[in-house]
């Protein structure tokens, strides 16, 4: 898997959802914008503090998460 150094998670930020570079913009927001048909240029215009690599890593993270298999652990 690609190094996703721009994806951060903190319980104090956006309820622990994966965000971009510690900012209050979630991976889900970016993925949703791309899914809705917005171009990278449109997203970067709407969020001028983001960079193209932020969008690429958000998509890569989402793709990686979809491929994960969750295995339930027995209750302790």
Q: What is the pLDDT of residue 26?
A: 97
Give tens-digit pLDDT for 49-70: 999 999 999 999 999 988 877 6
Of the pLDDT bands very low, low, confident and very high (cuts 50, 70, 90), residue 74 is: low
Mean of the pLDDT values across residues 2-23?
Answer: 93
Sign of CA dihedral 56, 65, 37, 19: negative
- Asked if pLDDT for residue 43 goes beyond 80, the answer is yes
For residue 56, being part of any structural domain is answered with yes
- Which among 17, 15, 21, 24 has a CA at the least distance from the CA of 62? 17
For residue 2, being part of any structural domain is answered with no
Cα–Cα distance between 6 and 19 in angstroms, integer?
8
- Which among 31, 32, 51 has a CA at the least distance from the CA of 41? 51
Residue 15 has a CB neighbour count (10 Å cut-off) of 9
The CATH number of residue 11's host domain is 1.10.10.10
For residue 25, being part of any structural domain is answered with yes
For residue 39, being part of any structural domain is answered with yes
Q: How many domains would you assign to the chain?
A: 1
Q: Which two tokens stand for residue 17?
A: 């959802």
On average, the pLDDT of the chain sits at 91
Q: Domain of 11?
A: 7-62
* Whether the predicted model's global pTM rises above the 0.95 cut: no
Between 69 and 21, the more confident residue is 21
């Amino acid at each position: 898997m690609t190094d996703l150094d721009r994806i951060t998670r903190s319980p104090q930020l956006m309820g622990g959802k994966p965000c971009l570079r510690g900012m209050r913009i979630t991976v889900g927001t970016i993925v949703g914008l791309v899914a809705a048909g917005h171009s990278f240029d449109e997203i970067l215009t709407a969020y001028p503090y983001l960079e193209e690599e932020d969008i690429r890593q958000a998509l890569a993270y989402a793709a990686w998460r979809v491929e994960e298999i969750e295995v339930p652990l027995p209750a302790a």
